[in-house]
Structure 1
Amino acid sequence: MPTDTKRVRGPEVSQSPSLYFCRPAAAVPLHGPRADGRQRDQVDVRPVFVRCGLVSQAKGSAYIEAGNTKLMCCVYGPRETERKDETDMKCGRLTTDMRFAPFSCPERGSWIQGSQDKDLSLMLHESLHPAVCLHKYPRSQIEVNVMVLENSGSVLAHAITCASLALADAGIEMYDLVLGCSIRQDGDSYMADPSYIEENNCSSVSSGNQGGLTVAFLPSLNQISGLQSDGEMTEETLTDIASLILPSFTTP
């Protein structure tokens, strides 16, 4: 009997997809140590691993791991601007693109850039732009591409750090490196470098004072280059969180 060569034959033995479903995540504890052993109300971040120069095709590249959060950044340029109407004779142009791999999140996504990717790309651009000496590269553009390989929380903060290291690896002149840090406020307590579960769950009984804050900081110049917050927090809470984050950058 002839077979259909265009049809992909499935395996003879198969198992139910429900066997591969992830178990529901446990609730974030109200008090005591966090799920990974770190402490609340302390600037206690996950161990970080960084390596530069992994992608030979790019001018500069960097890879960063923070816990289970994994990102890769590639920098291309400076090179001639593709669109002549966007050419600036006095300074260069910085473009950023941040995307999530389809397998990076618990819920599988698509390769098409969504609204979240566009928002994060804009925030990444706003954080890096003040640190790059664009006046050194007139009529040129520098492209920064970040790919999130695994999202385990605080992706924007680690993307800022990873992109800054990739720019330095590419030999781009900068005023200072840009470091990112994020904190999740949960009622009266806060969690530094929150995980994916901590970012998407609120353990506090009250609905007020819930939100997150991501700061991009230039440690040598002692300046903030980017600030992004979400949720509902009072002005005093935002001020207290910022005062907790900034000293951690300058601590040797």
Structure 2
Amino acid sequence: MPVDTKRVRGPDESQSPLVFLPPTAQTCEVLRRPGDRGKGDVRPLFARCGLVSQAKGSAYIEAGNTKIMCSVYGPRETERKDDTDMKSGRLVCDVRLAPFSCQKRGAWIQGSEERDLSLALSESMQPGVCLHRYPRSQIEVNVMVLENDGGVLAHAVTCASMALADAGIEMYDVVLGCALRQDGDSCLVDPDFSEERGSWQAGYGENQGRVTVALLPNFNQVSGLHADGEMREDTLTAAVRTCMDGCHKLYPVVQQAILRAVKRKAPPPEK
């Protein structure tokens, strides 16, 4: 039988490299969160406004390895005349996941997940925008997820709110988002991708799920609530309150980012 001399033949028997890892290394991902975060701690947030010069307003957010860019255009005339509202404007939200943002490479064509995120973002942002001030016009919010490491919808809400504020769109209040992963009697605030998907426990069971809350912090009112899984009523109520506390933790960072953007756009003082 002829032998392929160009191919390097492997050993006849092999073992998984996980066998040679120390016991602590095999269980560290389950017992400890990245960055030594507590269960109720949010990830450190980096926020900046006014990075896209061609847009009316823009914002960029980094929360751990989750990176999101948002651009706002308008108000402009509504493209579809049949959707024109004589008394109120329209808020059009479009969320796109970059093909390189996820572990599995995606396509440029908008999929079902992106359409669901766009609809959820629009529903969460509308209560915070004074649409009655822009009749017969539309405001376009374009969100690009550069890297998805969990909490995309929650951080997209915060990023879109900052971009709208940077564009000078009148708002009742900024809208902040926070996510939570429930597992039995314990919960993880602002989960990363592995925690959000529940890699340490496959699937959903009793009293397990995910919750995303959009909050108007000054009014302490919830503008959007998205939950999936199976959770008891008391557990869901506690999860919403925990997410509201997480939104209040993010508020000073967002406030300072918007304030810096306003100072940069302010005219120089007269001498």
- Pairwise TM-score range, normalised by the shorter structure: 0.7 to 0.9
Q: Which residue of structure 2 lines up, in the alignment, with residue 37 of structure 1? A: 36
Output the CA distance in 2 between the equivalents of 1:201 and 1:244: 19
The answer as to whether partners of 2:72 and 2:167 remain within 8 angstroms in 1 is: yes
2:109 pairs, out of 108, 112, 117, with: 112
CA separation of 1:250 and 1:49: change in aligned 2, threshold 3 A:
closer
Q: Which residue of structure 2 lines up, in the alignment, with residue 135 of structure 1? A: 132
- Relative to its length, the structure with more helix (as a share) is 2
Q: Which one-letter code corresponds to 2:240 in the other structure?
A: A
Output the CA distance in 2 between the equivalents of 1:185 and 1:51: 30
**Per-residue deviation, 1:240:** 1.0
Q: Which one-letter code corresponds to 1:35 in the other structure?
A: P
Output the CA distance in 2 between the equivalents of 1:231 and 1:203: 16
Output the CA distance in 1 between the equivalents of 2:28 and 2:138: 44
Q: Which residue of structure 1 lines up, in the alignment, with residue 84 of structure 2? A: 87
Output the CA distance in 1 between the equivalents of 2:36 and 2:207: 24
- State the number of aligned residues: 226
Segments of structure 1 that go 5 or more residues without pairing to the other structure are 1-22
Q: Which residue of structure 1 lines up, in the alignment, with residue 200 of structure 2? A: 203
2:48 pairs, out of 26, 46, 51, with: 51
Percent of pairs identical after alignment?
64
Q: Which one-letter code corresponds to 1:77 in the other structure?
A: G
**Per-residue deviation, 1:204:** 4.9
Q: Which residue of structure 2 lines up, in the alignment, with residue 18 of structure 1? A: none
TM-score (norm 2): 0.79
Output the CA distance in 2 between the equivalents of 1:88 and 1:243: 36
**Per-residue deviation, 1:112:** 0.5
Q: Larger C-alpha radius of gyration, 1 or 2? A: 2
Output the CA distance in 2 between the equivalents of 1:93 and 1:28: 48
Deviations 1:170-228 (A, max 9, x none): 00000000000001011221111000011112535993222110000000111100000
The answer as to whether partners of 2:78 and 2:84 remain within 8 angstroms in 1 is: yes
Off by >4 Å, runs of 4+ in structure 1 = 26-31
Q: Which residue of structure 2 lines up, in the alignment, with residue 246 of structure 1? A: 244
Q: Which residue of structure 1 lines up, in the alignment, with residue 97 of structure 2? A: 100
Q: Which one-letter code corresponds to 1:193 in the other structure?
A: D
RMSD of aligned residue pairs (Cα, Å): 2.0
Bigger Cα displacement from structure 2, 229-238 vs 218-227: 229-238
